[in-house]
Amino acid sequence: MMAGKFNVSSSPHVRDNSSTAVIMKDVCIAMIPTLAFGCFQFGISALIVVICTVLACVLSEYLYEKLMNKPITIGDFSAVVTGLILALNMPPQIPVWMPVLGGIFAIIVVKQLYGGLGQNFMNPALAARCFLLISFAGAMTNFSSAALKFDSTSTPTPLGFLRANGIKIALDQYNLLNIFLGRIPGTIGEVSTVALLIGALYLVVRKVISLRIPLIYIATVAVFVFIFGDHNSTTVLYHVLSGGLIFGAFFMATDYVSTPVTKTGQVYFAVFIGILTGLFRLFGGNAEGVSYAIIIGNIVAPLLEKATLPKAFGREAKKA
Amino acid sequence: MDKSLERFYNGVFKENPTFVLMLGMCPTLAVTTSVVNAIGMGLSTTAVLMFSNLIISAMRNIIPDRVRIPAFIVIVASLVTVVQLLMQGYTSELYKSLGIYIPLIVVNCIILGRAESYASKNPAIPSFFDGLGMGFGFTISLSCIGFVRELIGGGTFLKGILPAADFPNGIVIIPDGYRISIFVLAPGAFFVLALLSALQNHFKAPSATNTGNTSEMACGGNCAACFGETKLENHITIDKDIEKKELEAKKKKEEALAKAKAAKENANAGEGK
């Protein structure tokens, strides 16, 4: 029993109450406003999708670790966070087995097969979303408005509308206030900018995330859209507020595991995924591109870290 | 005859080109979207492989060593052209679905590898059977991958092999809407190949990633790839061991104490007398 009592480790010996579980719980709390709004807007079907996805993630993590004789890590809430992010990326009317399959894929293939939390090379929830998007393109982009409480005529998301019809008609369909409040079709989590910002504020106040990546990311997308779009500030605002950009910037591009740890690396990372998002949105085949941009950024993250490794104290280049 | 059989067995199992040698990954990943494509690719490669091995082996004494690679390529390319024209003529559908990968058989590293490592050093008949075995091994491996990908991604079984009049779509197993179509795309090829290789490793079959353990230690002795530290039961075992030793030490101490006490009492008793 000695091994349990003495923690033999190398420095730094940080005495602090923060742990993986505390941080992950904070992220869960920060997603509650978004979750509540999604359930309010899309009804019970959204809640069922969320519950089933989270359960699938936690259960698959538990079963895998049990079968592989590894320590059970469902207590650190990381599987819950993965499930929540994945579920909030789903359209509300999706058949429930699809996000469940995605959750299993996220935990088993993307996270556990690479060695569990901290070893996954890309964000499991986003990888699973892309897996589902490629496999079930129809169901994943069907934002049928049958369950919406305010509008029952249109199906495309604001971004799809903007892409197809230009900014004037898009503004007639969904004005900026409605987009900001979330009275639009979309995935469960991405619609309400205001609910997402409340959660993001909580994370920033609790010092779970820093604003470096989200702000630079959003600013890069805005500049890109302004330069390569129609040079219209309303279009820029439309791009920033609609789609998954806010959700992605605050909740997915700030993942500790799959983003660079160095400060300059984080800046490059944010600019890189910002440019990719702009490229995908303006010139790609789909109206949305946040998730692909972030997972490509995840793949580049180790290179960025290597390139921006800070010099050790005393080893800085001497001034001539 | 024994030698020929041995070569056949070697190609199919012991040195299976896909799962053991990990050669020819390009066609393996690209054309295994269905069983019929996989078998078409495998059999055309087999045909080329058999005759290229036969011809190269027969000519091995007159090909100068310095120009052997260009000579091999010429022979293989001529055979591939023959196969390509035959396929275009008789199996037009298959020819269309395999596309660029038929001419690319020329640069398939299995063919060049066998020519270089076996056919150029051995007599013609064993070389022929070596090609046959390698080709069959390749066909079987591709069919395994194709079977899984077709089943999960396309939802069908043996589409294009069963008579088209009775089964236009093969045997439909997974209905439309439930198929995970990523499996017929490029990522699915990697998933399935990795999964099958993992199974092969699990059952300790020979493979490129499962090299023979020469160590006599129970764990295999491969410390670089050891995950022992993360295994819970190892920690439990170590803890139990420590506990056992502590208990033993305690017992010894108590025994020693008791002995000392007894000795003292004896001494006291002695004094008392």
A165-181 pLDDT, tens digit per residue, is: 777 777 777 788 888 88
The DSSP annotation for A202-233 comes to: HHHHTTSS-SHHHHHHHHHHHHHHHHHTTS-H
Closest CA of chain B from A178, distance in Å: 33
Chain pair A-B, CB pairs under 8 angstroms: 35
> Using one digit for the tens of pLDDT, what is the confidence trace for B8-27?
888 888 788 888 888 888 88
Q: Which of A119-123, A152-156, A231-235, A292-296 has the lowest mean pLDDT?
A: A152-156
A317 touches B at CB < 8 Å: no
Q: How far apart are CA A90 and CA A300, in angstroms?
A: 26
A9 touches B at CB < 8 Å: no
Q: In this complex, which of A3, A70, A101 lies closest to B238 when CB atoms are compared?
A: A3
CB B132 within 8 A of CB B50: yes
Looking at the predicted structure, is the pLDDT value of residue A200 above 70? yes
Mean pLDDT along residues A256-268: 90
Closest CA of chain B from A319, distance in Å: 42
B chain contacts of residue A1, beta-carbon cutoff 8 Å: 239, 242-243
Partner-chain contact A3 B235, CB within 8 Å: yes
Q: How far apart are CA B125 and CA A193, in angstroms?
A: 73
Quick one: closest CA in A to B186, which residue?
A134
Q: Which of A92-101, A166-175, B130-139 has the lowest mean pLDDT?
A: A166-175
Partner-chain contact B181 A134, CB within 8 Å: yes
- What ipTM describes this predicted complex? 0.77
Mean pLDDT along residues A245-260: 90
Looking at the predicted structure, is the pLDDT value of residue B51 above 90? yes
CB A105 within 8 A of CB A82: no
Q: Which residues of chain B are at the A interface, by a Cβ-Cβ cutoff of 8 Å?
A: 177, 179-183, 185, 187, 191, 230-233, 235, 238-239, 242-243
Two tokens, residue A205: 């106040």
Query: What does the pLDDT read at residue A154?
Result: 47
Quick one: closest CA in B to A140, which residue?
B177
A1 touches B at CB < 8 Å: yes
> Using one digit for the tens of pLDDT, what is the confidence trace for B34-48?
888 899 899 999 999
B chain contacts of residue A134, beta-carbon cutoff 8 Å: 181-182, 185, 187
Find the helix packing angle between A158-165 and A233-241, rounded to 10°. 150
Residue predicted with more confidence, A286 or A76:
A76
Query: What does the pLDDT read at residue A289?
Result: 85
Report the percent of chain B where pLDDT is more than 90: 20
B237-241 long-range contacts, Cβ below 8 Å, gap at least 24?
Answer: B238/A3, B239/A1, B239/A2, B239/A3, B239/A4
Nearest residue to A159 (alpha-carbon basis) of A250, A278, A61: A278
For residue B171, give the H/E element and its range. Answer: strand B171-172
Quick one: closest CA in A to B179, which residue?
A135
Q: In this complex, which of A1, A101, A135 lies closest to B239 when CB atoms are compared?
A: A1
CB B128 within 8 A of CB B28: no
Closest CA of chain A from B71, distance in Å: 43
Two tokens, residue B64: 């100068």
pLDDT band for position A147 (cuts 50, 70, 90)? very low
Looking at the predicted structure, is the pLDDT value of residue B150 above 60? yes
Q: How far apart are CA A4 and CA A71, in angstroms?
A: 14
Report the percent of chain A where pLDDT is more than 90: 36
CB A64 within 8 A of CB A112: yes
Closest CA of chain A from B240, distance in Å: 8
Q: Which of A30-44, A300-314, B78-92, B232-246 has the lowest mean pLDDT?
A: B232-246
Partner-chain contact A131 B181, CB within 8 Å: no
Partner-chain contact B232 A4, CB within 8 Å: no
Quick one: closest CA in A to B178, which residue?
A136
Q: How far apart are CA B109 and CA A29, in angstroms?
A: 55
Partner-chain contact B182 A131, CB within 8 Å: yes
A chain contacts of residue B237, beta-carbon cutoff 8 Å: none
Quick one: closest CA in B to A71, which residue?
B232
Residue predicted with more confidence, B186 or B212:
B186
A chain contacts of residue B233, beta-carbon cutoff 8 Å: 69
CB A168 within 8 A of CB A122: no
Please name the residue that has the structure tokens 């005529």.
Answer: A153
pLDDT band for position A21 (cuts 50, 70, 90)? confident
Q: In this complex, which of B180, B231, B233 lies closest to A135 when CB atoms are compared?
A: B180
CB B121 within 8 A of CB B60: yes
Residue predicted with more confidence, B203 or B38:
B38
Two tokens, residue A91: 């359209």
Quick one: closest CA in A to B198, which residue?
A113
Looking at the predicted structure, is the pLDDT value of residue A52 above 90? yes
A191 CB-contact burial (10 Å; exposed 0-12 / middle 13-18 / buried 19+): buried
Partner-chain contact B181 A1, CB within 8 Å: no
Nearest residue to B132 (alpha-carbon basis) of B42, B57, B235, B205: B42
